Structure 1
C-alpha cells in the first residue's frame, strides 16, 4: 500500500487564486513584452515549459533552463544564465526540485516568479514510520537508506506532482492565473487555453482510472522513485530500486528484497527511464527472470522518448503499465 502524508503549503485557498498571488509583491504591474510583443517566460524544466506553451500559445515566448537530454536534478546554472534569468517577464519553477534553479531565482532579482509547489498540495510517499509492513520497503525509507534527499524539501516532500494529471491540472490553473496577471490584455485567451488544457488532463485521468482498474497486480518496480503521486492516484504500489536518485547504486539487501517482492506480488516487469542508466533495472531483471520496459518520469523530452509531448508520453506510460500489470 502507498502511504502519503500531506505537506502544508503557504496558501491553498484555490489554484487560481494561488496562481495570482504566487507572483511576488513587487510584480503589481504587467510584464513588459519583448520586441516581438510576446511575454518572455522562462521555465525551469519540461513540465512547466509545456504548461506555459499550452496556455500562453502565441502570446508567449518560452525558454527552458533544462535542455533536452539533461537530467533536471543534476542541472547546473552559470552566472551568465542567472543574469539572463533576471530579464524574463515570468519565471516558472518548482522549488526544491532543482537546487541550482532555486539559488539562481533568488539571485536573479526577477519580479514575476511562480513556484509550482504552491499551486497544489505536496505529499510524502511511504516515509512515515511504522507503515512498512513485513517484507515491504517503501520509497521514502529507501530515500533515507541511500542518504539522498535530492531537494525534496525540508519535510521530504515528493516534487513529482506532474505525473498525477489531477495535480498537474491544479498547477495549470495557477500558471494560467499568473499569465493573466502578467499580461492582462490577453487574459481571456489564457483563461480559455487553461480551461481546454484542464479538460484534456481530466480526460487523461479518466483514461488511467479505466485502464488500470482491473490490473492483475498493483505493484510495479522502477529505478527512480518518481511515481508516488501516480501510484497514489490509481491505487498502485511503487517499489523503487534506487530511491530518488536514479544513478545511485542499490544495496545487495535491497536487490534481494525486490526479488522477494517481485515473486510475492507477481511482478513481470522492471521499469527504467530514458534520462538515466538502465543498468540496475537490467541486473534485477536478469536475476529474477523479469522483462524490462520504459516508465518515463517526463522530466524532459528527447528523441528516445515514447512520444512528442506530455500527453503522448503519459499514454505510453499507461500502455506500458497496463501490459506489465496485466490489466484487462
Structure 2
C-alpha cells in the first residue's frame, strides 16, 4: 500500500539535518564572535588560560610543538596578525621569548592586556628563563589571568573564579608532590645538559652539579674543556645519581654525554620546554616528577 508520508520522510529528514547544521553554524559563529581572542607565547600558558576562560576565550598558543626547538623559532606575519587581534597576551619573559616582546613593541596601539610571567615571580633578563619549572610561576600566572578575565567580563565572574580555584587545586598537587620528593631526595647530586629543569631541581633540594657547563649551553657558547671533563668524570665515576637532559634539543655534545651515562649505568630523565599535546600542565609536571622519582629510586 502506497503511503505518501513514507516518500516525504527523506526530504523532511534532509531539511531537518540542514536546519540542525545551520543552527550549529550559527552557534559556532556566535561563540567565535563573543569569545575573547588570546595569544599565549607558549602552550603551557595557553593551557592555563583555556582552563580558566573556558568557552569564553579563544586561545592561540604559538610554541606548541614538543618536537621543535623553541630557541630556533622565528615569528611569522601570521603571528604578528594574531597578536594584533588579541585582547590578552600571556608570555614568559626573562628573555626567553624576546621575539614576542619585539612584536608587541611594534604595535602598541592595540587595547590588549599583557601578562608576563617573569615579573610576577621576580625574575628578569639574565636569570634562568625556564620559569614554568618554578613551582611559584603557574599559580601567579593563573591568578593574574583570572583577575583580568573577571574585570574584563564580569558577567562570567563566577565561572572564572570557579575555574581558577580548580586550576590552583591542580597546581597544589604538584607542589605537594615536590614537597614529598624533597623529603626523600634533598641533597642528592644530579647533573643536567642545560638548566631547563633548574628551578624544579632547586625546589626538590637536589644538588645540581656542572652549573658552568649548563650555563654555557643555555647561552649558546662552547663549554670549556675542563667543564666538559668534569661532567664526563661525574658520569663515569657515579658522582651523580641522575642526568637530566632536554629532549627538544639534540646536539653532538648532549648525545655524547647520554652515551657515557648509558655506559656508566647512570639513569637519564628527559624534560621538554613545550607541554605535550593532550595533557594539562599539572599532569605534565607530575609525569616528569614521576620519571625523576623512578630514576632516583633506581640509581645505585
Which TM class, normalised by the smaller chain length? 0.7 to 0.9
Q: Counterparts in 2 of 1:151-162, with a 5 A limit?
A: 153=125, 156-162=126-132
Q: Counterparts in 2 of 1:271-310, with a 5 A limit?
A: 271-277=244-250, 279-287=252-260, 289-301=264-276, 308-310=279-281
1:257 corresponds to:
230
Q: Counterparts in 2 of 1:119-268, with a 5 A limit?
A: 119-122=120-123, 153=125, 156-215=126-185, 218-239=188-209, 241-243=213-215, 245=218, 249-262=222-235, 266-268=239-241
- Give the superposition deviation at 1:292: 5.0
Q: 1:216 and 1:81 mapped to 2: Cα distance?
A: 42
Instruction: Look up the SS of the partner of 1:36 in the other structure.
Output: helix
Q: Name which structure has the greater RCO, CA cutoff 8 Å, separation 6+.
A: 1
Q: 1:114 and 1:208 mapped to 2: Cα distance?
A: 26
Structure whose CA Rg is larger: 2
Residues 317, 248 of structure 1: CA spacing in aligned structure 2 closer, same or farther, 3 A cutoff?
Answer: farther
CA-based RMSD of the aligned residues comes to 2.8
Structure 2 unaligned regions, length at least 5: 1-29
Residues 327, 196 of structure 1: CA spacing in aligned structure 2 closer, same or farther, 3 A cutoff?
Answer: farther
1:98 corresponds to:
97
1:81 corresponds to:
79
Instruction: Look up the SS of the partner of 1:318 in the other structure.
Output: helix
Q: Counting helix residues as a fraction of each chain, which structure ranks higher?
A: 2
Give TM-score, length-normalised by structure 2: 0.76
Q: 2:273 and 2:258 mapped to 1: Cα distance?
A: 23
Structure 1 unaligned regions, length at least 5: 1-32, 123-151
Residues 38, 216 of structure 1: CA spacing in aligned structure 2 closer, same or farther, 3 A cutoff?
Answer: closer
1:39 corresponds to:
36
Residues 224, 299 of structure 1: CA spacing in aligned structure 2 closer, same or farther, 3 A cutoff?
Answer: farther
